[in-house]
Copies of this chain bind each other. A is one copy, B any other.
Amino acid sequence: MKCLLLVAHGSRRSASNDEIRKLATKLSARAAGSFDEVSCAFLEIAQPSIQEGIQQLIDRGAHEVVVLPYFLSAGRHVAEDIPREVRAKQAEHPGVAVRIAPYLGAAEHVPELLLALAEG
């Protein structure tokens, strides 16, 4: 079972966290063939945490988890904090493959997406 965990920063505004949860649901609906399950987790402030999110997927049977940072820049959160959380959980479950995908801001097609938005 291969799963995707969308990881956002987490906000004091619950509407922002709900926006992430809705996005994970949208991803889930489109992930057929790529991922058996998609959920989300938060680096700070909101729940579940990254470690909790990975654990929930493992409890549901994941043998492979892809962690996708929903971040725009390669700051400390992307470079250090997310990898640290993932390593800690990976160490507890050496039989599960946990991989971190590139963060959103690094996506090749971001410029096209932005131009499409701007052109309206």
Q: Given that A11-B73, A73-B11 are contacting pairs, would A109 and B113 also be in contact in the complex, using a CB cutoff of 8 Å?
A: yes
Taking A16-B73, A70-B72, A72-B72 as contacts, is the C-beta distance between A117 and B105 under 8 angstroms? no
Contact of B114 with A6 in the complex, beta carbons under 8 Å: yes
What copy number does this chain have within its complex?
A: 2
Beyond A68-B118, A118-B35, whether A11 also contacts B75 by CB under 8 A is: yes
Q: List, sorted by A's number, 19 A–B pairs whose CB atoms are closer than 8 Å.
A: A11-B73, A13-B76, A15-B74, A16-B74, A23-B110, A23-B111, A30-B111, A34-B115, A34-B118, A66-B120, A68-B114, A68-B117, A68-B118, A70-B114, A102-B117, A104-B110, A104-B114, A106-B117, A109-B113
